[in-house]
Structure 1
Amino acid sequence: MNSLASLTLEVADPTAADRFYTVFGLGAHVRLRACDTPTTGFRGFALSLTVSQPSVVDGYVEAAVGAGATVLKPAAKSFWGYGGVVRAPDGTIWKIATSQKKDKGPAALTFDSMVLLLGADDVSESKRFYVGRGLAVAKSFGSKYVQFEAPSDGVTLALYGRRTLAKEVGVPVDGTGSHRLVLGGGEEAFTDPDGFAWEAGDRSADRGGGGG
């Protein structure tokens, strides 16, 4: 396994979720699967879109809210740039951000990269686990953050401390039950140290439902 091959969100209502992700512009990047496994609170992960400038952040947040998302952190400037956080109707948390603090002109509603942030109880331990599975480290900041190499058109996998990630996206750290997230890659199914489930290979998922 050398990269994340697929990303599947398990949702209670695939049809409603499909409408959201299509309107939000992510229908081609996120797979959906019907699932009623109980889960409460923070699911231990978030997805992050990196975009070109503040107006694009605002555009994504507006589109998300219009499609039923709730705002966890309003878009605002910070020392690192500009960004905001929303929670999709299915419960998935999305962060939209840019390193730019000012617009450079008109820009399309597109993103430069998508990063899946997995909240780890021990980032160093999870890093060793994934390196042992064949992933190559692209960036590493000690025990705080690790980002693995990924194709330019794929979803980047990264590890963040669970508590730090919860604080970053504006939710309490507590949560129980399913992550409602299934990842694809490699030749066999496995579960990582924080309970995130992987399926073998790049299996096709029916976005309209089935499974659980």
Structure 2
Amino acid sequence: MATTTASAVSLASVTLEVADPAAAQRFHTAFGVDEYVNLRASEARSAGFRGFTLALTVAGPATVDGFLGAAVDAGAVVLKPAAKSLWGYGGVVQAPDGTVWKVATSAKKDSGPATREIDEIVLLLGVEDVKVSKRFYVDRGLTVAKSFGGKYAEFAPGGSSPVKLALYKRRGLAKDLGVAAEGTGSHRVVLGGTSGSFTDPDGFAWETVA
């Protein structure tokens, strides 16, 4: 289902659906991510893993600890304590509204003091078949920036959103986050684009934004 360039999709916004937008806004402000996502009131039912995470990349371990500490102070629950790994250092928390956030760095040591700066934020969608979902988005005009077989694909930024879009095999993503892969109901996240409303193969919804 190839599309023309004129109707190619690009990520313009990410909206989290939450039960209490005011409370979620307070959390996001304290955490330091309020400029990256929109919030919308929703009572949509959701149980278990919602199938996505928002991942922050920062400069060093001290900055990771600072963001995770701010999240916990604002009411988040630790899913994976910050720890070193082969790829760097990071940890995972779940916000009071249920959204799972990961904060990580590729640096093993700090080269300076902790900051409140975010180098990159990526919306990782957990999908059943990365190749199928990647083809779906490429056919709609997205450009693949990174791809690792059937495990991971990241798209080049092209819209107005500061958030990058990437695909990760659902079970692999759940394992990385320290949660069970099972989940039912709404994803509680809506992606905004400029080429019409649609739903991808894994049920993630896109809506038209101006």
Task: Check 1:177–1:57 CA distance in 2 against 1; reply closer, same or farther (3 A cut).
Answer: same
* C-alpha displacement of 1:75: 0.3
- Deviation at 1:26? 1.2
Name the counterpart of 2:102: 95
Give the aligned CA root-mean-square deviation in angstroms: 1.2
2:79 is paired with a residue whose SS is strand
Counterpart-to-counterpart distance in 1, 2:102 and 2:35 = 18
* 1:39 match: 46
Is the 1:2–1:136 contact (alpha carbons within 8 Å) kept by the matching residues of 2?
A: no
Q: How does 1:176-187 map to 2 (within 5 A)?
A: 176-187=184-195
Among candidates 121, 124, 127, match of residue 131 of structure 2: 124
Post-superposition Cα deviations, 1:67-96, rounded to whole Å, max 9, x if no partner, equal 000000000000100000000000000000
Q: 1:112 to 1:122 in 2, by over 3 A?
A: same
AA of the residue aligned to 2:177: V
- 1:187 is displaced (CA, Å) by 1.9
Name the SS of the counterpart of 2:27 in structure 1.
helix
Please tell me the residue identity of whatever aligns with 1:16. A
Gaps of 5+ in 2: 1-7
Corresponding residue for residue 193 of structure 1 = 201
Equivalent residues in 2 for 1:120-199, closer than 5 Å: 120-150=127-157, 154-199=162-207
Determine what percentage of the aligned residue pairs are the same residue.
65
State the Cα distance separating 1:28 from its structure 2 match. Answer: 1.4
For structure 1, list consecutive stretches of 5 or more residues without a partner in the other structure: 203-212
Match of 1:189, as an amino acid? S
Task: Tell me how far apart the structure 2 counterparts of residues 30 and 187 of structure 1 sit (CA, whole Å).
Answer: 20
Conserved? CA contact 1:3–1:149, under 8 Å: no
Runs of 4+ in 1 over 6 A off after TM superposition: none
Deviations 1:47-83 (A, max 9, x none): 1000000000000000000000000000000010000
1:190 maps to amino acid: F
SS at match of 1:182: strand
Give 3-state SS (helix, strand or coil) of 2:56's partner. strand
Corresponding residue number in structure 1 for 2:64: 57
How many residues get paired? 202
Shift of 1:153: 7.0
In structure 2, distance between residues paired with 1:37 and 1:2: 26
Q: TM-score, normalised by structure 2?
A: 0.94
Matched letter for residue 179 of structure 1: H
Rounded to whole Å, the distance in 2 between the matches of 1:179 and 1:24 is: 22
Moved more, 5-14 or 149-158: 149-158
- 1:150 is paired with a residue whose SS is coil
Query: 2: CA distance between counterparts of 1:29 and 1:105?
Result: 25
Secondary structure at the residue paired with 1:101? coil
2 CA distance for matches of 1:146 and 1:201? Answer: 24
Distance in 2, matches of 1:53 and 1:29, equals 20
